[in-house]
């Protein structure tokens, strides 16, 4: 059990920080502190607000033997699998979108390149529920999804039972998953770890709660007073969070609602260059670099254009909060 205790040794007396313990760190330190070889990791977002920079940092730090516990997962998983970081994936959907096909994932599952990727499938709702059960600290949550199909046949963690209340219905029991670490990218967070999400939340509130440790990467660290203005948007409270790193454009090349649009040309280039191993390794060489260097390489003009695009369709954060 680690989702607990904002408190510390109660006897050590007063603390001068007016707002409690601060958790600010940098991306490199956060990954080094919480993601270890063999860790299980859940990532936030879903083809939008994904913690892409954090995943690239995991690759840069050459973590191995990871299990990714997740829902639907796109680019960042494909990169990590191609780079040899991941041994197992538990989730609902892998691939990418219209213009890229998860080449590394297929290559790992079908051809064991760079090594075999073990898959354990659930449905999307099953994925939400495995985190819900983890967040609730109960062994399982029941659902009607996945009944009558082969998903439970190939995922031994799922159980099918008869409704103990005697309705005659069958139910799928989805067991709790508790990732060692959840990594969630959000628009804003305060130094205590109160993370606010604009727009859709996907399963991020549940992943942060289910995980033993949570790293928040955010576009912007704001003051705790700023958080207090819209408490309804704090979907991840401080007591579930261990580290907060300000990582602007941390979802590039994906979207960050209200902040910037997806860089689809960059993404397409990844899709093309991940089609064969040699090109992919060159892509890694080129783009697995510290996030500051990455952004510089992308270029300020390009980033600004992506911001302008998003602001054209969705009101920017400063207007919304």
Q: Residues touching other proteins: how many (CB under 8 A)?
A: 120
Using CB under 8 A, which residues numbered 37 to 96 contact other proteins? 45-49, 71-72, 74, 91-95
* CA-based R_g, the chain, Å: 20
User: Which of 61, 64, 275, 314: binder of other proteins (CB under 8 A)?
Assistant: 314
From the list other proteins, a second copy, none, pick the one residue 121 interacts with, judged by a Cβ distance below 5 to 8 Å according to partner type.
other proteins
Q: Which of 36, 106, 302, 320 lies at the binding interface for a second copy (CB under 8 A)?
A: 320
Task: List the interface residues with a second copy, window 135-154 (CB under 8 A).
Answer: 136-144
Cα-flanking dihedrals φ and ψ of residue 213, to 5°?
A: -135, 150
Q: Is the peptide bond before 104 cis (omega within 30 degrees of 0)?
A: no
Query: Which does residue 280 touch among other proteins, a second copy, none (CB within 5 to 8 A, set by kind)?
Result: none
From other proteins, a second copy, none, interface partner of 159 (C-beta below 5 to 8 A by class): a second copy
DSSP conformational letter for 176: P
Q: Which one of other proteins, a second copy, none interacts with residue 175, CB within 5 to 8 A by kind?
A: a second copy
Q: Is 4 among the residues that bind a second copy (CB under 8 A)?
A: no
Calculated CA dihedral for residues 97, 103, 104, 108, nearest 10 degrees: 120
Please state the φ and ψ torsions of residue 296, each to the nearest 5 degrees: -65, -40
Is 106 strand, coil or helix? helix
Contact 19, 191 (CB under 8 A): yes
Residues 222-251 as x/- pattern, contact with other proteins by CB under 8 A? --x--xx--xx-xx-xxxx-x---------
Contact code string over 91-120 relative to other proteins, x by CB under 8 A? xxxxx-xxx--x--xx--xx-x---x-xx-
φ, ψ dihedrals at 153, nearest 5°: -65, -35
Question: Of 52-60, 130-138, 215-223, 285-293, which segment contacts other proteins by CB under 8 A?
Answer: 130-138
Taking alpha carbons only, the member of 195, 192, 319 closest to residue 250 is 195
Answer whether 204's CB lies under 8 Å from 236's CB. Answer: yes
Tell me whether residue 18 or residue 164 sits nearer to a second copy (CB atom): 164
Question: Does 230 sit near a second copy (CB under 8 A)?
Answer: yes
166 binds other proteins (CB under 8 A): no
Q: Which does 300 bind (CB under 5 to 8 A by kind): a second copy, other proteins, none?
A: none
Angle of the 300-313 helix axis to the 291-298 helix axis, nearest 10:
80
Residue numbers 89-118 binding a second copy by CB under 8 A: none
Q: What span, in angstroms and rounded, lies between the C-alpha atoms of 142 and 163?
A: 10
CB of 79 within 8 A of CB of 56? Answer: yes
Contact 215, 24 (CB under 8 A): no
Of 188, 275, 180, nearest in space to 231 by CA: 188
As measured in angstroms, the least distance from the Cβ of 275 to a second copy is 38
* Residue of 114, 199, 290, 316 that binds other proteins (CB under 8 A): 199
Binding site for a second copy (CB under 8 A): 136-144, 159, 161, 163-165, 167, 169, 171, 173, 175, 197-199, 229-233, 315, 320
């Amino acid at each position: 059990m680690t989702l607990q205790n904002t408190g510390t040794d109660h006897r050590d007396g007063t603390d001068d920080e007016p707002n409690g313990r601060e958790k600010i760190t940098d991306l490199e330190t956060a990954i080094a502190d919480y993601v270890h070889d063999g860790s299980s990791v859940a990532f936030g977002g879903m083809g939008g607000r994904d913690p892409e920079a954090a995943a690239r940092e995991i690759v840069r730090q050459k973590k191995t033997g990871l299990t990714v516990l997740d829902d639907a997962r796109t680019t960042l998983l494909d990169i990590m699998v191609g780079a040899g970081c991941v041994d197992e994936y538990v989730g609902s959907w892998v691939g990418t979108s219209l213009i890229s096909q998860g080449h590394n994932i297929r290559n790992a599952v079908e051809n064991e390149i760079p090594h075999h990727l073990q898959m354990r499938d659930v449905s999307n709702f099953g994925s939400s529920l495995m985190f819900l059960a983890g967040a609730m600290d109960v062994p399982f949550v029941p659902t009607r999804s996945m009944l009558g199909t082969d998903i439970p046949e190939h995922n031994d963690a799922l159980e099918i039972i008869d409704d103990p209340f005697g309705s005659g219905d069958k139910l799928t029991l989805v067991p709790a998953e508790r990732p060692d670490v959840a990594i969630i990218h959000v628009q804003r967070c305060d130094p205590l770890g109160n993370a606010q999400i604009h727009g859709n939340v996907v399963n991020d509130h549940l992943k942060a709660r289910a995980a033993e440790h949570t790293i928040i990467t955010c576009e912007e660290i704001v003051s705790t007073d700023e958080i207090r203005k819209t408490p309804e948007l704090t979907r991840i409270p401080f007591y579930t969070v261990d580290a907060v790193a300000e990582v602007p454009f941390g979802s590039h090349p994906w979207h960050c609602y209200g902040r910037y649009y997806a860089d689809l040309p960059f993404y397409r280039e990844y899709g093309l260059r991940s089609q064969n191993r040699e090109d992919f390794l060159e892509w890694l060489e080129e783009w697995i670099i510290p996030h500051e260097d990455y952004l510089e390489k992308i270029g300020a003009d390009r980033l600004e254009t992506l911001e302008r695009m998003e602001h054209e369709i969705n009101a920017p954060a400063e207007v919304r909060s």
